Structure formats: C-alpha cells, structure tokens
Structure 1
Amino acid sequence: MQLPAIRAGRIGLALLLGYLLFCLLYLGSHALRLQPPVALQRGSIDAAIPLLDWSIWIYLSQFLLLPLAIVKARDDADRSRVFYACLLATLIAASVFLIWPTQLQRPAQPTTGLTGLAWALLFARDVDGNCFPSLHVALATLSGLALWRRGWRLLACSWPALIAVATLTTKQHVVWDTLAGTALAVLAWILTPRLFRYD
C-alpha cells in the first residue's frame, strides 16, 4: 500500500492526525467491543510488584517519548516507519480489544498534590479496559527502536523499559500484557516496510 512519507515539514500535521486515528481506534474498539470484558487475574509476579503512586509520571512520559522518536528519527524513511508501525500496532491491538476485551481492577488512586492530579487525568481520559496486549508498551518499544536507529542507544533501551515497568507499578497492566505489547511492537516494526511504501 502506498502512503505519504512523514517528512520533517509535515511532522506537526502527522502527529495530530496520528493522535486522532489512535483515539478513534483505541476508544472506538472499547465502545464497540463484541462481548463483556474478561477480568484478568494478577499472577504471583504481578502480586510481588508494589504499587508505586509516583511511577504514574514515568507511565505518562510516553506522551513525550513517542513524538520525540518521530521528530528525532534518523531520516524520513525511519520517521515514516515508526509512524506507520505505531498505527499498525494500534490497529492490531484495537482488533483484539474489540474481539477479546480485557479488564483489570483499578487501584485506589492518590487524591492530593500533582501526583493525584496526574492519576485523576489518566482515569478521566483513559478507558477501564483494553489491557491485552499493552498498547502502552508496544508504542514505547517502537519509539525505542526508532531512537536506537538514530544512535541514541542508552535512551532507546532505558526509557521504554522504564515505561514498561511503570505499567506494572501503576497496576495498569499485568506481566502478560507487557510481554504481548513487546511482541506486538516487533511484529508491527517487521510488517510495516513489507505492507507499506512511503512516497
């Protein structure tokens, strides 16, 4: 499939359209899910991971990581690849959310200070489902792949890894979600140049 390349002069528009498509797929799959959500159970590893209220800031830092990876991509080809890989990962995940919706019980959230505000904003804008696979981890991993190709190896490994851990310490996902999110990122990264051409 032929798609427009994401060039340096179009980044702002691409980010806006990409976010709108993400919202349509992510929220739309939740609204139209074909069956009641399956309640995921936390395993022994999940139970051993503590709830760290402050790690919400690491969790939310993905909204900086993703645009950074697109803005600072090595070239237009890499920029286009990470952009369309993120959309492909979102489409695949949304298909799973639609057919097999999953849900976790949300933790009690702090109500004071900036950290309380961050939790309130997350719960106000996010849906209480769409757990498996973790799209949060998938998009962070794809961003890391783009930064790795840019040559920012330490950042490419550490930031997505911290976000993946934060999905567990905020109790937004379980271990299986994060592993599935990583696999989804690798699949989308491999498939994107095989399915799409950027002109």
Structure 2
Amino acid sequence: MRCPTKSCDSFAGLAWAPYMDWGQSDLHHRLVLPWRGFWRSTWSRRELLNGHWFRFEIFLLGLLFVAVPYFASNNIAAHYLGTVWDPEMWLDREIPVINWMIIPYAALYLFYPATLVVSPRHDRGRAELVLAMQTLILATLFCSFFFLVFPAEIDLRDQLDLDSLTDLESSLFGFIHFSDNPWNAWPSLHIVHSYILARLMTHWLSREHEGKPLARAFVVLLWVEYALLCISILTTKQHYLFDLVTGLAVGMVAWRLFQPALELVASDGGGQVAEDAGWT
C-alpha cells in the first residue's frame, strides 16, 4: 500500500508496517495501531443516531475493557492478596489532609463523558477516539499487572477526620471508599487515565476550535483540574507520592506511544485507516 504523503514516508516503516505485513510488524505496532477487525462492528454503526450511538458504544466498551479490569484487580488484591512492596515514605504522612480536594479527585469521572462530548463527529475524530480507547485499555492492563503482581495496600485513611466533612465531602468520600478498596496503588490509574484524556481533549479542541475563546477557556480549566487532581490523590489519602510519580510516567509514555496512531490517522484519514484495519 502506498503512503500518500512525503511526510508520511518518513515514518512509513513505523506507522504503515502493520498494513503492509501484519505478520512481521513488531509488538509495539500491533498494540498501538488499529487493531485489525476488532472495531468492525462498532465502526459499522458510527452514523447511527447522528453519531451519538457510536459514542455510547465506545462508553460501554470502556466499561467492559477498562472499568472491569480495574475493579476486578482491586477486589482481588483486597480480598486475596497482601502487600508485596510498600511504597509508603515518611513524606506521605506529612502531606496534610485537605477535605475539599475530594471534589477534584472525584471529578476524574467527568473526564470520560467529557471526552466523548468533545470528540469530533467525523471519521478522523472517530478513528482517533477508537485508538485512544485502545491506549486506555492497554494502559489499564499494564497497570493491573502491577496491582496483582506487586500489590500494595494504601494505609493512609486513618489520617482522615470524617467528622469534619461537609455533607458533599462526606458523600464523595463515602462513594469512593465504598467503590474503591485502598489497593491498586501504583502506578495510579487516576493519573494515567486523566493525563491521556486531557491530552486527547486538548488535541481535539486545539485543532477543531482553534482560537475560539470558549475552547481556550475549557483547556485552561481542564489542566487546572488535572493539576488539582494530581495533588488531590495525596491530600485525600487515596495514594502515595510514589503512585503519583509512576502514574505520571506511565501516562506520558502511553501518550508518546499513541503518537504513531494519531499520525497515521492525520496522514491517511479515518476512513482509509478503517478500511485498512478491516473495520469496513
């Protein structure tokens, strides 16, 4: 298959190898570039309900392939495993509790629907959304390996003064503590997922709404929230400092590994990528 642009030729060996010879492409290319045939059924319904069904289906697949592995590993660690290596250091208990920061912490769960809302409704945007979902799935499975092989209990909740919480704070802490056992320490998937999604939304808004004040304001708000989220995993005693550092590292590496996929869609277009990947 011919690479359509000169700039694409410069990385043809990287991005186009899976389509030239799927059997000989290396593991990295097989994982981060379009999964051959995997998204065929979902892609065939991309125009249903004016494109809204496609987003909803991506959300459902995210629950299946992202949420299920996370909560499964979390419950396995909590009920059947013990700490293999404790990443706690003296500084973790010196960081003060800040009750209200449970709000930016819980706001992670807004990143997922926000990404779907921001995603463009053309084939390029849809292909990028699918490839981003692949990245989230792989990042989740990668982190879940450490959660199960090197489990660590996050033993910090005793520092919380639950009697001092407002009603909102109490509700949010209650929800988090009920749904998320104090395990799955490092790398922090809170940090990994939010970094990838923040970069993806920024990528779309900068391209699709360049120069628009509302888009710029949203991007600023997004990264302020991300900064608060990074701090909040420490000040709500949900994570250790080591979890934050390793989460940032994994998120940045995952985004870097995602670049060939974005470049492929940019050079060839979403429709052609879908055809080459066997989605149509």
Give the TM-score taking structure 1 as reference length: 0.86
Q: Is the 8 A contact 1:88 1:192 kept in 2?
A: no
Residue in 2 aligned with 1:51?
97
Superposed, 1:1-199 pairs within 5 Å as 1-2=35-36, 3-4=38-39, 7=46, 8-9=51-52, 10-33=54-77, 35-37=81-83, 38-44=85-91, 46-74=92-120, 75-105=125-155, 106-107=157-158, 108=160, 110-111=162-163, 113-150=167-204, 151=206, 152=216, 153-192=219-258, 199=279
Query: After TM superposition, where is structure 1 displaced by more than 6 Å over at least 4 residues in a row?
Result: none
CA distance in 2, matches of 1:103, 1:140: 22
CA drift at 1:156: 4.3
The amino acid across from 2:173 in the alignment is W
Higher alpha-carbon deviation: 177-186 or 128-137? 177-186
CA distance in 1, matches of 2:180, 2:189: 12
Q: Is the 8 A contact 1:71 1:79 kept in 2?
A: no
The amino acid across from 1:49 in the alignment is I
Identity %: 24
State the number of aligned residues: 198
Q: Is the 8 A contact 1:39 1:102 kept in 2?
A: yes
Task: Tell me which structure has the larger Cα radius of gyration.
Answer: 2
CA drift at 1:143: 1.0
Q: Is the 8 A contact 1:49 1:168 kept in 2?
A: yes
Q: Is the 8 A contact 2:58 2:130 kept in 1?
A: no
The runs of 5 or more residues in structure 2 that have no matched partner are 1-34, 207-215, 262-272
Q: Is the 8 A contact 1:102 1:130 kept in 2?
A: yes
RMSD: 2.6
Q: Is the 8 A contact 2:74 2:183 kept in 1?
A: yes
Q: Is the 8 A contact 2:82 2:153 kept in 1?
A: no
Q: Is the 8 A contact 1:97 1:132 kept in 2?
A: yes
Structure 1 residues 154 and 81, CA gap change in structure 2 (3 angstroms)? farther
CA distance in 2, matches of 1:32, 1:146: 31
Structure in which a larger fraction of residues adopt strand? 1
Higher alpha-carbon deviation: 107-116 or 122-131? 107-116
CA drift at 1:109: 5.0
